[in-house]
Amino acid sequence: MYIDGDFETSLNAEQIARFNVSEGRVLTDDELRAFREGLSQAKLRDTAFRILSRRPHSEKELRDKLLQRGFEKRAIFGLVDEFREKNYLNDDEFAEKWVEDRMRMKPRGRRMLVQELLAKGIRRSTAERIVKEKLTETDQSAVAFELILARRRKFASENWVDTKGKMYNFLRYRGFDLDDIAQAIERFRKQQRESGDESV
């Protein structure tokens, strides 16, 4: 599309119909301003839908990505409000899916899961509630045990104190509580002794 002989933008068939564009049409200043605002809003919406089509996003994630692409802040916040009302964005559902995916692919302790959700822009009360709900029937000490069992060679050292310290740091970094860590390490030690490993 050209305006006054200068290239303005390219339009697809949907946009041509939406903005009632035709060759040779003369636009007033007000119509041109409204057209440009409408085109910018359409581009914002299309970009937002494209982002959301790749994977679920929190409200904060979508706002940040749209800001990075140079869209106007007020328009972004208005769009996010609209998307929330239409349930295109739902921080509760996003948080639930995040926790489920994390525990299936990269298990973490409660503390780490909450911190990750906070970084995604989820309110603390929401993050804590959902993590608690999702992990109600999860034995965190068992999850911690499976993690160290899968990486037992990584923790191997000449004495048990060093091995235990490495396991503790590994699990603490991943957000497990002290009680769950202690139970997991003790379970690991017991299993190793039963298998005939006297170094523990």
d(CA 90, CA 56): 9
Q: What is 2-89's CATH topology? A: Arc Repressor Mutant, subunit A (1.10.10)
Average pLDDT over every residue of 161-186: 95
Average pLDDT over every residue of 142-155: 92
d(CA 183, CA 141): 6
Q: Which residue has the higher pLDDT, 152 or 19?
A: 152
Low-confidence winner among 42-56, 96-110, 150-164 (lowest mean pLDDT): 150-164
Distance from chain centroid for Cα 33: 37
SS3 assignment, position 106? coil
The band of 193, judged by pLDDT with boundaries at 50, 70 and 90, is confident
What is the residue extent of each domain of the chain? 2-89, 93-138, 140-200
Contact status, residue 100 vs residue 113, Cβ threshold 8 Å = no
The band of 22, judged by pLDDT with boundaries at 50, 70 and 90, is low
The band of 139, judged by pLDDT with boundaries at 50, 70 and 90, is very high
pLDDT at 124: 97
Q: Which residue has the higher pLDDT, 88 or 5?
A: 88
d(CA 38, CA 40): 5
Read off the pTM.
0.76
Q: What are phi and psi of 197, to 5 degrees?
A: -85, 105
pLDDT at 194: 84
Tell me the average pLDDT of the chain: 86
CA-based angle 106:92:76, to the nearest 5?
A: 105
- The contacts of residue 94 (CB under 8 Å, 6+ apart) are 56, 57, 58, 120, 122
